[in-house]
Amino acid sequence: LVARRVAVPIGPGTLADGTRIPLLANIGSAAEAKAALTLGAEGIGLFRTELVFLGARSAPTVAEQQDEYRRLFTACRGKRVVVRTFDAGSDKPLSFLATDPEENPALGLRGIRATRAHEGVLRDQLAAIAAADAETDAEVWVMAPMVADADEAGYFVSLARELGIQVAGVMAEVPSCALMAGQVLGIADFVSIGTNDLTQYTLAADRQLGSVASYADPWHPAVLRLIKMIGDAGEQSGRPVGVCGEAAADPMLAVVLVGLGATSLSMAPTAFEAVRTELRQHTLEHARALAVQALSASTAAEARALVRE
Ligand code: PEP
Ligand code: MG
């Protein structure tokens, strides 16, 4: 008896008309990056650096961080690696970026707000990334989480440039950032949409609370309208707009995100095959038509149904 092996289609993310949509991986360590590359990742779209140092009591030194980043960049030679600066607070507490107790930590001093309040930690992290970048051959992009507007984007981008970062962008996960996307993309080299938090804040539904889970649906047209604003700003500025939230791992929603203006998609590597297969069924024109349908819906369920039809 000869077992038949089913070939897994590994290849770049491509639409039916040949438009390239790079499929990138969300990872939390260099080891995860290696596994993602064997599954066909075209690069890393989100390196959650806070996960590497979750247990640290004190801030990691520049040398400690440089070792970690060097290991990752070496594994990703020639590929894009988007590094996110520490996203501390709320669901990802870091003791070296701890805040006073907060009643609503998701609305508190988290993400860029926390690192801005501890600027020495942010400076060290940016210096370590720049040093590791200089030693290796990956295409390193750096972004800050939870950026609210162009002023905050400007703070981050100028600090990143001062410390030797070549490509500096921001995550769009707070609705105000989407509403101000034109201004933000006048400053940031790129935007990456974090649909997990963008959905949480748009629908005012705690992403960790089961009782409101039905609200936290990235198919909601309110979320899609904000994403369209960012996509339009990306097209006008000619700057990349990625998506790195879980929404990118839903094959049909991935097509809608492309129709709304996403130029790359980053996800858990287990989703590559299904997303890659779905993207190949649609032209960019068709993805845009599906996005128009989804935007016209009044609920998440209706958006899903209209697109699936
Ligand atoms: C997001 O919010 O969508 C995101 C990618 O960041 P995280 O899930 O790490 O908050
Ligand atoms: Mg987030």
Ligand number nearest to the C-alpha of 245: 1
220 phi, psi to nearest 5 deg: -60, 130
Residue nearest to atom 8 of ligand 1 (CA): 196
Helices (H), 185-267: 195-202, 221-237, 251-259
Give me ligand 2 centre to Cα 111, in Å. Answer: 8
Q: What residues contact 290, with CB distance under 8 A and at least 6 apart?
A: 255, 256, 259, 282, 307
What letter represents residue 227's amino acid? Answer: I
Cα separation, 301 vs 304, in Å, equals 5
3-state SS, residue 185: coil
| Average pLDDT, consecutive stretches of 10 residues, N- to C-terminus, the chain (309 residues) | 55 96 97 96 98 94 98 98 94 88 93 97 98 98 98 98 98 98 98 98 96 97 98 98 98 98 98 97 98 98 97
pLDDT number for residue 110 = 94
100 phi, psi to nearest 5 deg: -65, 155
pLDDT number for residue 9 = 64
pLDDT number for residue 8 = 47
pLDDT number for residue 7 = 46
Side-chain half-sphere CA neighbours of 125 within 13 A: 27
Residue 283, token pair as written in the block: 């032209």
Count of beta carbons in the 10 Å neighbourhood of residue 127? 17
Give me ligand 1 centre to Cα 293, in Å. Answer: 26
pLDDT number for residue 305 = 98
- Closest residue by Cα to residue 278 from 295, 302, 259: 259
Cα separation, 239 vs 186, in Å, equals 9
Residues with CB under 6 A from ligand 1: 46, 48, 87, 173, 194-197, 244-245
Cα separation, 213 vs 151, in Å, equals 32
Cα separation, 126 vs 89, in Å, equals 19
pLDDT number for residue 81 = 98
Query: Cα angle vertex 127, ends 180, 192, to 5°?
Result: 30
Query: Cα angle vertex 206, ends 205, 212, to 5°?
Result: 55
Residue nearest to atom 6 of ligand 1 (CA): 194
Cα separation, 273 vs 285, in Å, equals 22
Strand partners, 266: 24
Predicted TM-score (pTM) of this structure: 0.96
Give me ligand 2 centre to Cα 146, in Å. Answer: 7
